[in-house]
């Protein structure tokens, strides 16, 4: 990979602005946790693992602010800041998971040196990043065995290196399969309303020399009907205890179509995306986005002024539609018959 979605520097982090892709490759450096929160909210950085990593570093950076306080008082302040970071995007469990992990590291610190406390949190964020890199590689290795020569894969949204600290989740499977010399093709849904499939997934796969074809979201069923799809591989933002999962809006429709056509439907995600505290999909909070994301694109209106808009960023797919989960620990069967 010749790019990184997120990279730690000296007391700051560098984020690739995914709002500008594929036309521009622009990086921003942040040394204020509030700017990182805004980066998460505005989708400058996106993808469940990536925003978790960003959130952990945001907490570390917040602890480095030049304020007159002591360690115990700072620990209390960090609890409130952690809540602020976690509220940036509510659906992806990785954000709260990573921030809580960094916060726990801070709360367990028993020294009286604030700089040392900050270093502990920073080190924890770096550990989360490194572990994500390793998990992505493991997902790729496990999932690549599911890909055969001459397969054609359908994917939705972006679950690649842009969405993680490593080489991705769903796209990691493709990268590893390519490294093994397998020949295959990929169809990428455009993924309305923000076109992450068109702007990001196609860009990523083309960077790595993988044969990718862009389609409109509503073409997926027709391709399946024509026998052009071998399997579906996509990511997840939160997987409930029973296996129901949240992913980018449109995922549920793809899952229903895959089942109707007898096509394997695979979900690639690290173990950090599995939420044992959420019993089922109905308990997963669904983020709603600004109406302007639907009514405008690139500054140009695409709908009548004043039209009502419903814009959930995610939907819930029941585990009964999942053939298997591809994780860093191995392949876990779903419940689809």
What does residue 199 show for φ and ψ, rounded to 5 degrees? -80, -40
Question: Mind giving me the DSSP string for 107-173?
Answer: HT---S-HHHHHHHHHHHHHHHHHHHHHHHHHHHHHHHTT--TTEEEEE-S--BGGGSSSSBSHHHH
CB 250 within 8 A of CB 217: yes
Phi, psi of 147 (to 5 degrees): -95, 130
Q: How far apart are CA 309 and CA 291, in angstroms?
A: 6
The single residue listed with the structure tokens 């990184």 is 4
For the chain, report the end-to-end CA distance as a whole number of angstroms. 37
The angle subtended at Cα 333 by Cα 167 and Cα 172, nearest 5°, is 10
Is 328 among the residues known to form the active site? Answer: no
DSSP state string for 56-94: HHHHHHHHTS-----HHHHHHHHHHHHHHHHTT-SS-HH
C-alpha count within 13 angstroms, C-beta hemisphere, residue 37: 18
Which phi and psi angles does 169 have, rounded to 5°?
-115, -80
**Cα gap 131→133, rounded to integer Å:** 5
Cβ atoms of residues 156 and 197 within 8 Å: yes
On whether the CB atoms of residues 184 and 147 are closer than 8 A, the answer is yes
In the set 35, 237, 244, 275, the catalytic residue is: 237
Which residues are the active-site residues? 237
């Amino acid at each position: 990979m010749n790019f990184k979605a997120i990279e730690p520097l000296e007391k700051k982090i560098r984020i690739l602005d995914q709002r500008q892709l594929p036309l521009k490759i622009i990086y921003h450096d942040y040394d204020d946790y509030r700017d990182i929160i805004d980066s998460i909210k505005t989708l400058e950085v996106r993808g469940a693992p990536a925003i978790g990593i960003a959130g952990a570093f945001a907490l570390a950076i917040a602890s480095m602010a030049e304020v007159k306080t002591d360690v115990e008082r700072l620990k209390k302040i960090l609890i409130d800041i952690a809540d602020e970071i976690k509220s940036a995007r509510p659906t992806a469990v990785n954000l709260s998971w990573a921030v809580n992990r960094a916060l726990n590291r801070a709360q367990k610190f028993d020294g009286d040196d604030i700089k040392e406390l900050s270093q502990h949190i920073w080190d924890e964020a770096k550990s989360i990043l490194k572990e994500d890199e390793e998990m992505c590689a493991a997902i790729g290795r496990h999932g690549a065995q599911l890909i055969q020569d001459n397969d054609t894969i359908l994917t939705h949204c972006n679950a690649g290196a842009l969405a993680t600290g490593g080489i991705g989740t769903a796209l990691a499977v493709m990268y590893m399969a390519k490294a093994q010399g397998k020949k295959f093709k990929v169809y990428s849904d455009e993924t309305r309303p923000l076109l992450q499939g068109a702007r990001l997934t196609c860009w990523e796969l083309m960077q790595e020399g993988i044969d990718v074809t862009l389609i409109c979201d509503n073409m997926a069923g027709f391709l399946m009907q024509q026998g052009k799809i071998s399997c579906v591989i996509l990511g997840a933002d939160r997987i409930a205890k029973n296996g129901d999962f949240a992913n980018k809006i449109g995922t549920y429709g793809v899952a229903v179509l895959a089942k109707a056509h007898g096509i394997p439907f695979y979900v690639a995600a690290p173990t950090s995306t599995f939420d044992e505290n959420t019993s089922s999909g109905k308990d997963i909070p669904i983020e709603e986005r600004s109406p302007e994301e639907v009514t405008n694109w690139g500054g140009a209106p695409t709908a009548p002024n004043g039209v009502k808009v419903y814009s959930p960023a995610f939907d819930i797919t029941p585990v009964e539609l999942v053939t298997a989960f591809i994780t860093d620990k191995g392949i876990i069967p779903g419940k689809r018959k």
